[in-house]
Amino acid sequence: MPFSKIAAENDVASSAEKPPVVVREYEQVRDKAAVEELERRCEVGQPGKPSLVTDLMGDPIARVRNFVSHIMLVAEYNDGREIVGVIRGCIKTVTSGKSCSQSPIYVKLAYILGLRVSSTHRRLGIATKLVQELEEWCKKNGAEYAYMATECSNQASLNLFTQKCNYVKFRNPTVLVQPVHFHEKPLPSDVAVVRVPPDVAESVYRNIFSGSEFFPKDIDRLLSNKLNLGTLMALPKKLLPNWNPNSGELPASFAILSVWDTKEVYRLQVKGVSSLTHAACLGTRVIDAMAPWLKIPSVPNIFKNFGFYFMYGLHMEGKDGPKLMKSLCKWVHNIARDDADCRLVVAEVGQNDPVREAVPRWKKFSWDEDVWCIKRFGQVNQDWCKSPTSSSSIIFVDPRDL
């Protein structure tokens, strides 16, 4: 995913003898300060061009700690006197589609993220060594596949994984970004939005996503996480009196999603824009605050450290589905509006997922093609890597992967 963009350079080593590099597991007391400094120095972006910079919050391993099986590795250079690389990984059990009997197929999947190598120590084989060591840990812990995500423009990372580490391009989900405006978005008067308890949400999600890809088997753990702000369902008000959430039956027409708060894990900041762009964005906020009834599409202050809400588990059914999904997105926007530290609402969905057209977005902030690459470990009954894109239009994006 773009917010965990892998910052790797072409990792071809020179013909000279490589200096010693040791890869070992991260130790918080010993390594925290050095890793934080490395990540700060590895901010992604090109000079003179706008870039989205990630600032990790708290312990650097926090991004994978929400998984039961996780690890973080560091690369030491020059006899251990300097940490020059870092990588994270986790293992989870997810769906890879449906079998012929229509029951879900589960696989043990590793996710690789947060690869960083110091800019002064690239082209020494460090990134490749980090990936290989992490893959060995994944195999020892039973992973059948590993995957990573990056932007389609991040050619250095794609070259590293596809050319040197034998990953294949697999899926291309769409990232949809909506700025949080000053004004509240009104909801249709004939739409009801209700909060769904975690146990009911789990049942609904297992029902509607059983045939999708990447749906986590531990959805109950995800929904009970402290970063999960809750699950919302929208349905026509006329159907509300006759719907019992505990019955196990779904309304004829509905939309559902859950909301994840990213602020405690990492934060974002846009850098590299001109003074004129700064002034123009500030002007939209001033006008919007002075005349909210005009509904000026103001740009929040994304040039200072900020957080965002991530919408996941998006699904809609029935003839009113698109309208209900748009209503849910408005509801989430209004919740984010009350959080002064939240500047964006983000979702990531499959290219062919029907909800894609119902989710509000700004084209200038969104992008159509995130790149997910995958690799198979050993022999499995069915090679997921070779399954066609059309095999499942629905991709469940786990917010813990951000």
Q: Which of 43-52, 196-205, 347-356 has the lowest mean pLDDT?
A: 43-52
pLDDT band at 389 (very low <50, low <70, confident <90, very high): low
Please say if the pLDDT value at position 43 is more than 90. no
Query: From residue 13, how far is each of 121, 123, 126, 129, 288 by CA, in Å?
Result: 10, 5, 9, 11, 53
Instruction: Please tell me whether residues 260 and 182 are part of one structural domain.
Output: yes
pLDDT band at 326 (very low <50, low <70, confident <90, very high): very high
End-to-end, the C-alpha distance of the chain in Å comes to 6
Residues 57-83: what's their mean pLDDT? 86
* Both tokens assigned to 174: 């769409």
Q: What local confidence, expressed as pLDDT, does residue 138 receive?
A: 97
pLDDT digits (tens, 9 = 90+) for 10-30: 454 443 455 588 999 999 999
Q: What local confidence, expressed as pLDDT, does residue 42 receive?
A: 78
Please say if the pLDDT value at position 381 is more than 70. no
Identify the CA nearest to 3 among candidates 260, 262, 213: 262
Q: Decide if 401 is inside a domain.
A: no
Q: What local confidence, expressed as pLDDT, does residue 2 receive?
A: 45
Instruction: Please tell me whether residues 101 and 247 are part of one structural domain.
Output: no
Instruction: Please tell me whether residues 110 and 218 are part of one structural domain.
Output: no
Contact 111, 99 (CB under 8 A): no
Q: Decide if 400 is inside a domain.
A: no
pLDDT band at 286 (very low <50, low <70, confident <90, very high): confident
Query: From residue 258, how far is each of 86, 158, 207, 328, 331 by CA, in Å?
Result: 31, 31, 15, 10, 11
Instruction: Please tell me whether residues 158 and 293 are part of one structural domain.
Output: no
Q: Which H or E run contains 31? A: helix 28-41
Instruction: Please tell me whether residues 104 and 62 are part of one structural domain.
Output: yes
Residues 56-76: what's their mean pLDDT? 87
Predicted TM-score of the model (pTM) = 0.89
Q: Which of 75-79, 189-193, 225-229, 335-339 has the lowest mean pLDDT?
A: 75-79
Please say if the pLDDT value at position 351 is more than 60. yes
Q: Decide if 396 is inside a domain.
A: no
Q: Which domain holds residue 58?
A: 2-172+370-391
- What does pLDDT average to over the chain? 87
Question: CA 56 to CA 60: how far, in whole Å?
Answer: 7
Residues 97-113: what's their mean pLDDT? 84
Q: What local confidence, expressed as pLDDT, does residue 290 receive?
A: 83
Residues 65-81: what's their mean pLDDT? 89
Question: CA 402 to CA 386: how far, in whole Å?
Answer: 25
Q: What local confidence, expressed as pLDDT, does residue 46 receive?
A: 44
Q: What local confidence, expressed as pLDDT, does residue 229 receive?
A: 97
Instruction: Please tell me whether residues 107 and 199 are part of one structural domain.
Output: no
Q: Decide if 227 is inside a domain.
A: yes
Residues 380-393: what's their mean pLDDT? 74
Q: Is 19 left (phi over 0), alpha (psi -120 to 50) or beta?
A: beta
Identify the CA nearest to 34 among candidates 60, 58, 70: 60
Q: Decide if 402 is inside a domain.
A: no
Q: Which of 47-56, 97-106, 243-252, 270-279 has the lowest mean pLDDT?
A: 47-56
Residues 35-61: what's their mean pLDDT? 68
Instruction: Please tell me whether residues 82 and 181 are part of one structural domain.
Output: no
Identify the CA nearest to 229 among candidates 306, 313, 349: 313
Instruction: Please tell me whether residues 208 and 291 are part of one structural domain.
Output: yes
pLDDT digits (tens, 9 = 90+) for 151-183: 888 899 999 999 999 999 999 999 999 999 888
Q: Whats the size of the chain, residue-wise?
A: 402
Instruction: Please tell me whether residues 117 and 130 are part of one structural domain.
Output: yes
Q: Report H helices in 246-352.
A: 275-290, 321-337
Q: Decide if 206 is inside a domain.
A: yes
Number of folded domains that form the chain = 2
Q: Decide if 398 is inside a domain.
A: no
Contact 317, 254 (CB under 8 A): yes
Question: CA 255 to CA 136: how far, in whole Å?
Answer: 41
Q: What local confidence, expressed as pLDDT, does residue 12 receive?
A: 45
Question: CA 328 to CA 239: how far, in whole Å?
Answer: 16
Instruction: Please tell me whether residues 148 and 236 are part of one structural domain.
Output: no
CATH classification at residue 266 = 3.40.630.30
Instruction: Please tell me whether residues 205 and 274 are part of one structural domain.
Output: yes
Question: CA 46 to CA 113: how far, in whole Å?
Answer: 21
Q: Which of 133-137, 149-153, 227-231 has the lowest mean pLDDT?
A: 149-153
Question: CA 136 to CA 13: how far, in whole Å?
Answer: 21
Residues 320-345: what's their mean pLDDT? 95
Please say if the pLDDT value at position 129 is more than 90. yes
Instruction: Please tell me whether residues 152 and 295 are part of one structural domain.
Output: no
Q: Decide if 159 is inside a domain.
A: yes
Please say if the pLDDT value at position 297 is more than 80. no
Residues 64-69: what's their mean pLDDT? 91
